[in-house]
Structure 1
């Protein structure tokens, strides 16, 4: 996000980055907390994001999950590497909000 403060970046480029971030956040949080329990790509692959009781996650859980994934990406995907070492194959973002990604 620090690149938004670069002086040589145009206002249109900065605005498009912010709009893209907002739309991306809205897409993931709304669809993962909906009855679909997944984004469209996950839905087509039969993958769902659920809580520990196999129920749909709340909007707040989806929100925290999105932002923790975002932070994990910024930190060289360290939160995703934990998938290799946990018994339930959960990333840090899933452990944080107590969600599970399942394939049906």
Structure 2
């Protein structure tokens, strides 16, 4: 991690990052699934267990997410919002094994009505169950680069009519 002041990323910014990631994932996989299945009708008894489903819905998301966490410390949605997933103890980027553990722990967070994700709003370090299991935190710069307002003529004060 770079040497700067960080804060834990809360529920709503993480939810926004997830929405961005989901949209990007659908942009990539929907056309491929449509091509593989010959349209957007996925009816049939064998559609769940075929090679395309395995690759595009299970293997690709796992490998892409783990690769982003290991090499960039963030998925594209988290990068867009200046968030990073790091080791809770050291602040270092995640190892492959910790990334895989965190990915599979998502299922534990999702299974009971997504309570593990909602836990982010209640936890003091903004950790979901998947973060607690994998010993990770999601952080962002405390100073998000928003420039303070500076008027050219600092001696002049605006009147209420302005």
TM-score after normalising by structure 2: 0.54
Q: Which residue is equivalent to 1:88?
A: 125
Aligned to 1:26: 63
The answer to whether 1:42 aligns with 2:78 is: yes
CA-CA distance at 1:37 after TM superposition: 0.5
Distance 1:86 1:54 in 2: 18
Gaps of 5+ in 2: 1-42, 142-162
- How many residues matched? 96
Higher relative contact order (CA 8 A, sep 6+): 2
Q: CA deviation at 1:43?
A: 1.1
**Match status 1:100 vs 2:141:** no
Question: Residue 70 of structure 1: CA displacement?
Answer: 2.3
Distance 2:105 2:78 in 1: 19
The whole-number CA distance in structure 1 between the counterparts of 2:102 and 2:44 is 30
Spell out structure 1 runs of 4+ moving beyond 3 A: none
| TM-score of the pair, normalised by structure 1 | 0.81
Q: Which runs of 5+ in 1 are unaligned?
A: 1-7
- Higher share of residues assigned helix: 1
CA distance in 1, matches of 2:93, 2:140: 14
Whole-Å separation in 2 of the counterparts to 1:72 and 1:86: 14
Of the three residues 112, 115, 122, the one matched with 1:75 is 112
C-alpha distance in 2, partners of 1:70/1:29? 15
C-alpha separation in 1, matches of 2:53 and 2:114: 20
Q: Are 1:11 and 2:46 counterparts?
A: yes
